[in-house]
């Protein structure tokens, strides 16, 4: 079974600064997908960024980028130029390949933006 670990229950960052959220996972699969989702107080789970394990290049989406280290089973999220609207719970999630398509989530990191 796959596991996802987020070791930072809470993080805070000054507005306009950069913050990195950590995520590690455990799997025996070679082909899989990793995601970061954001859940603001409105509770809607919103996709932030995704990474396919077969791609070596790290994914980027505007101010959001990941550092994917497949051998270390690490998948961190970097948020640049933090904005007040980035305040939310951030969940790291793992999806396996065909036949194992459920998402396995970590326990989340609550990100606070300090004005």
Question: Which distant-in-sequence residues (6+ apart) come within 8 Å of 95 by Cβ?
Answer: 32, 33, 34, 35, 101, 102, 103, 104
Quick check: 103 binds other proteins (CB under 8 A)?
Answer: yes
Site residues for other proteins, 13-52, by CB under 8 A, read 33, 35, 37, 42-47, 50
- Cα distance between residue 8 and residue 6, in whole Å: 6
Distance CA 109, CA 36 (A): 11
Looking at residue 17, the DSSP 8-state letter turns out to be S
Nearer Cβ to other proteins (11/103): 103
Q: Which is nearer to other proteins, 72 or 98 (CB)?
A: 98
Q: Tell me which of 15, 102, 112, 114 binds other proteins, using CB under 8 A.
A: 102
Give the footprint of other proteins on this chain (CB under 8 A). Answer: 4, 33, 35, 37, 42-47, 50, 91, 95, 97-108
């Amino acid at each position: 079974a796959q596991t996802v670990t987020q070791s930072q229950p809470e993080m805070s960052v000054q507005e306009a600064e950069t913050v990195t959220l950590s995520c590690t996972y455990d799997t025996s699969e070679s082909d899989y997908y990793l995601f970061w989702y954001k859940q603001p107080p409105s509770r809607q789970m919103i996709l932030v960024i995704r990474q396919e394990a077969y791609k070596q290049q790290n994914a980027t989406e505007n101010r959001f980028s990941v550092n994917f280290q497949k051998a270390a089973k690490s998948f961190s999220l970097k948020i640049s130029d933090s904005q007040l609207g980035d305040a939310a719970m951030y969940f790291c999630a793992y999806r396996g390949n065909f036949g194992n398509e459920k998402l396995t989530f970590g326990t989340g990191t609550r990100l606070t933006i300090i004005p």
